[in-house]
Chains A and B, each alone.
Chain A
Amino acid sequence: NAGVTQTPKFQVLKTGQSMTLQCAQDMNHEYMSWYRQDPGMGLRLIHYSVGAGITDQGEVPNGYNVSRSTTEDFPLRLLSAAPSQTSVYFCASKQPGQSEELFFGEGSRLTVL
């Protein structure tokens, strides 16, 4: 099993550009989520999904969109990137009921100029 796979690992954008961070998991986990990690601020939840077709907002959802059309994939979209969105983004998944452990991807470092 590959676990949680994120692409790309690095990305540089200009202000106003759009992009999608991809996240895929092969563990058949129902729950998937996106976090951003900024220095001194820990991990902050952006959006999460408890299953295909179901998404909800986290702590810092503004400027980000998500969708969940399949169990395996949970892409994060930035429609108009801003410098404040410069961060490291982590996707995480878990299977409720078995364990509440979040399995994280390797992270995607995004810089918005």
Chain B
Amino acid sequence: GENVEQHPSTLSVQEGDSAVIKCTYSDSASNYFPWYKQELGKRPQLIIDIRSNVGEKKDQRIAVTLNKTAKHFSLHITETQPEDSAVYFCAASRNFNKFYFGSGTKLNVKP
């Protein structure tokens, strides 16, 4: 099966700085890569996703990049705000039925 590794496990940044979270995957057939945000005590929610036919996708302060050759993808958050503090999970899927999640990154944005 697929193996998704996520780094770092914790990330602390100053408000206004950028944050980058990286994931690698093992199954070269994976073709869909979503990112979920989970606030403390809440349910995970999709923030952005990318498919394998695209190298980069942006949505306001959030962007995701994908390198299929190296089998890694990254989440970039610019101009971080305290409300960005949460746990972020990457995931990979080859058929949109089985999703394999990374272990999560706890982002702390200090005011």
Report which A residues bind B (CB closer than 8 A): 31, 33, 35, 40-45, 48, 50, 56, 58-59, 90, 96, 100-102, 104-107
Contacts and interface: CB of A to CB of B under 8 A. Distances in A.
Interface stretch (B14-22, B67-75, B76-84, B101-109): B101-109
Contacts of A42: 4, 6, 89, 101-104
A31 B45 CA distance: 17
Contacts of A107: 43
Interface of B: 1, 4, 6, 9, 32, 34, 36, 42-46, 49, 89, 91, 93, 96-104
Given A42-B101, A45-B98, A104 B43 contact: yes
Contact of B98 (A41, A58, A90): A58
Given A40-B9, A43-B89, A100 B43 contact: no
A106 B43 contact: yes
Contact of A59 (B36, B43, B46, B100): B100
Contacts of B46: 101-102
19 contacts: A40-B9, A40-B104, A42-B6, A42-B104, A43-B89, A43-B99, A44-B101, A45-B98, A45-B100, A48-B97, A59-B1, A90-B43, A100-B32, A100-B96, A101-B46, A102-B44, A106-B42, A106-B43, A107-B43
Given A100-B49, A104-B44, A107-B43, A56 B101 contact: no
A27 B75 CA distance: 29
Contacts of A31: 97
Contacts of A33: 99
A66 to B, nearest CB: 14
